[in-house]
Amino acid sequence: LLIDDSAASNLIHEEMIKEMNIAEEIIQKDNAKEALSYLKGEHCGGNPTVPDLIFLDIEMPETDGFGFLEEFEKLDLKYTNNHKLIIAILSNHLDSENFEKSKQFKATGVVDHIRKPIHKEDIECILEEHFE
């Protein structure tokens, strides 16, 4: 799941993931509200959808990435129980404040803070560390 208000970033990242041939499906959402609605399953009759990996832009209008994470934590645990969810936070710049704030969401699944645009090596590191 790609969550970014930048259509260009979503397109670049989707093309890279397709080129790497590492995902059965790639979903793009351009804001936190749409992403949360998708995860709740509101697109398919209420059946929750939990991806294996989320790339989350931290700097978005209305609800930023941290707002998304706060709302995500409130979802019914049946959405995430027994499911390894990895969230990589994306940012145009890596400032220490965002990096420190992202650490409080480690239990939610946040594993990394990556500078945009994502590079193939960033994805490979996440895959090697968290997926077989």
As a whole-number percent, the residues of the chain with pLDDT over 90 amount to: 52
- Tokens at residue 126, please? 């996440």
Give the max Cα distance, the chain.
41
pLDDT at 3 over 80: yes
pTM of the model: 0.88
Q: Report whether 3 contacts 57 (CB < 8 A).
A: yes
Q: Is 87 helix (H, G, I), strand (E, B) or coil?
A: strand
Of residues 74 and 124, more confidence is placed in: 124
Return the exposure string of 39-66: e unless at least 16 CB atoms fall within 10 Å of the residue's CB, then b.
beeeeeeeebebbebbbbbbbbeeebbb
